[in-house]
Amino acid sequence: MSRLQHLGWFLARGFGPHGWGNPELAWNWDWTRPDLYQQSVRELEQAGLDLLIIEDAPSMGNPATIDLRVRQAFGGPKHDPLLLAPYLFAATQNLGIAPTVNPAAYLPYTAARQFATLQHLSGSRLGLNVVTDTGSARHFGTAAPLGHDAAYDRAEEWLAGIRRLWRSWPEGALLADPAAGRYADGTRLEAFEHRGAHFGFDGPLNAIPFPDGEPAIVSPGGSGRGLAFAGANSDVQLALAPLDVASIRAYRAKIHAAAVEHGRSPADIRILFAIRPTLVASAEEADRLVAASANPGEAELRLIAERQSSDLETDLTALDLDEPLPSGLFGDHVSHGSIARLVGTHDAETPLRQLLAAHARLGRLSDGSGQVGTAGELADLIENLGEHADNDGVLLWGDLHPVTVHRMLDELVPILRGRGILRTEYAPGGLHANLRAF
């Protein structure tokens, strides 16, 4: 028997048009209504997953690329995942829900109060995927977008302020004692003033303490500054790296070193690596798919360029495919991780055509060249990373659609449970309790 690992689901499209343009997902679900997502999260919970992380991007990008963002619904429209969360909590009992939140969009006091409310209503199952999207600044009254590292500085101040507000009710402040005729002891509350580089607000918070801990913090950053933020603050790291033992070990070492540097234990963070597998019924079918992807056509390269343009908020479709990416193409607001995912292992002189073709070509789970394979081969990979790289677990990447969920999990869950990798029951106490159960 192998050791238990944590499994989660990453809804990379966010609260958007799931199934649009894909005939296989045309089940007449209305993506703007909660039913689609409620049906899906019930299946995730039945499967024993720990949490769902919901991507979000509140902006549709700069004016020059808005059409690229919405044409194929890659970057918009998107509705607010924080407001979807209560419907998902109502449909489940144990699954953690982590909507994406942007410090630029929420003033700390309002954020602390809303998040505290959801933590209570959900039975301590709220997570917060904290991102530092700087391109959205103009929508929120910010004078100018911050640079990459400065945005992390703002996020650090924002999160520290929210935590101080959550903790402004110390032990003994909440009495709830009818016999004594006293609900709370106001003399114990911390009436502090915060005047920082980015925010100004006063405490204490008008919300009571949590019985099972604060909302879990998730972070997705892959830059040096992003990894430092995770080491200092996160309970879960949404990690992107090649899925081989050496790469997983190296990435984990960076996060653990950052945790220790900030006075925390490596055991405080669960590092979950995102994987977007294409599962098929047989090895022969997987081989056919891989072979068919070897020579992508112009239409396929164009679609990949549109998708990448949406993620990067930079129009790649106007560039010469046979030339390298121009120097200085990407602005400061563009995610370093998104650029790294486009370029991969190629150098600065690689033509754009070659970069896009690399994204079109598929590889096999069985030999580590890609993510196409059978449920058994995916289970082999997950097991191998747990046994030989001490991996905490994985995030399965896909739309939150019942068809997608079943295709991913129907065969995988019994195999993982049979090998002792996937939980069969939840721990009482909410998301933190389940993350720390093993």
Q: Are 275 and 395 in contact (CB under 8 A)?
A: yes
Q: Are 316 and 309 in contact (CB under 8 A)?
A: yes
Q: Residue 427 above 80 pLDDT?
A: yes
Instruction: Give the number of other Cβ atoms within 10 Å of residue 144's Cβ.
Output: 8
Q: Are 89 and 125 in contact (CB under 8 A)?
A: yes
Residue 420 vs residue 73, higher pLDDT: 420
Q: What is the C-alpha separation between 314 and 61, in angstroms, rounded?
A: 9
Q: What is the C-alpha separation between 401 and 388, in angstroms, rounded?
A: 33
Instruction: Note the pLDDT tens digit of each residue in 348-368.
Output: 999 999 999 999 999 999 999
* Token pair for 114: 């809303």
Of the candidate ranges 1-5, 65-69, 273-277, 377-381, the one whose mean pLDDT is the lowest: 65-69
Angle, CA 38 vertex, CA 240 and CA 8 arms, to 5°: 25
Q: Which residues of 82-91 are buried (b: 16+ CB within 10 A; e: fewer)?
A: bebbeebbeb
Cα dihedral 335/341/345/347 (nearest 10)? -50
- The residues, ordered by sequence, that sit 6+ positions from 274 with a Cβ below 8 Å of its Cβ are 10, 238, 239, 240, 394, 395, 397
Q: What does DSSP say about strands 270-275 and 236-239: parallel, antiparallel, or unpaired?
A: parallel
204 prior amide bond cis, ω within 30: yes
Q: Report pLDDT for 2.
A: 85
Instruction: Note the pLDDT tens digit of each residue in 36-91.
Output: 999 999 999 999 999 999 999 888 877 877 888 888 888 899 999 999 999 999 99
Average pLDDT over residues 99-122: 97
Of the candidate ranges 59-63, 124-128, 133-137, the one whose mean pLDDT is the lowest: 133-137
Q: Report pLDDT for 109.
A: 98
Q: What is the C-alpha separation between 133 and 285, in angstroms, rounded?
A: 39
Q: What is the C-alpha separation between 193 and 286, in angstroms, rounded?
A: 60
Instruction: Give the number of other Cβ atoms within 10 Å of residue 132's Cβ.
Output: 28
Angle, CA 376 vertex, CA 371 and CA 377 arms, to 5°: 35
Q: What does DSSP say about strands 182-184 and 174-177: parallel, antiparallel, or unpaired?
A: antiparallel
Q: Are 121 and 86 in contact (CB under 8 A)?
A: yes
- The residues, ordered by sequence, that sit 6+ positions from 159 with a Cβ below 8 Å of its Cβ are 103, 130, 217, 233
Q: What does DSSP say about strands 200-202 and 174-177: parallel, antiparallel, or unpaired?
A: unpaired
Instruction: Give the number of other Cβ atoms within 10 Å of residue 372's Cβ.
Output: 24
CA distances, 201 to each of 107, 119, 198 (Å): 9, 22, 10
Of the candidate ranges 6-20, 246-260, 274-288, 361-375, the one whose mean pLDDT is the lowest: 6-20
Average pLDDT over residues 85-101: 98
Q: Domains in the chain, start-ordered, CATH in brackets? A: 6-282+372-435 (3.20.20.30), 294-360 (no CATH)
Q: Residue 395 above 80 pLDDT?
A: yes
Q: What is the C-alpha separation between 198 and 239, in angstroms, rounded?
A: 28
Average pLDDT over residues 188-202: 97
Q: Are 274 and 265 in contact (CB under 8 A)?
A: no
* Token pair for 392: 């905490």
| DSSP conformation class of 356 | H
Q: Residue 126 above 80 pLDDT?
A: yes
Q: Determine if residue 368 is left, alpha or beta; phi over 0 gives left, psi from -120 to 50 gives alpha, anything else beta.
A: left
Of the candidate ranges 77-81, 163-167, 311-315, 369-373, the one whose mean pLDDT is the lowest: 311-315
* Token pair for 122: 């959900």
Q: Report pLDDT for 99.
A: 98
Q: Residue 136 above 90 pLDDT?
A: no
Q: What is the C-alpha separation between 73 and 420, in angstroms, rounded?
A: 39
Residue 362, SS3 per DSSP: coil
Confidence of residue 1 (pLDDT cuts 50, 70, 90): low
Instruction: Note the pLDDT tens digit of each residue in 278-317.
Output: 999 999 999 999 999 999 999 999 989 988 988 888 889 8
Q: Write the burial class of residue 38 (CB in 10 Å: 0-12 exposed, 13-18 middle, 19+ buried).
A: middle
Residue 409, SS3 per DSSP: helix
Q: Could you tell me the pTM of the whole model? A: 0.93
For the chain, the average pLDDT equals: 94
Q: Sign of the C-alpha dihedral, residues 314, 239, 356, 26?
A: negative
Angle, CA 55 vertex, CA 26 and CA 78 arms, to 5°: 60
Confidence of residue 251 (pLDDT cuts 50, 70, 90): very high
Q: Residue 372 above 80 pLDDT?
A: yes
Q: Which helix (H) or strand (E) holds 99?
A: strand 96-101
Instruction: Note the pLDDT tens digit of each residue in 326-336.
Output: 999 998 767 77
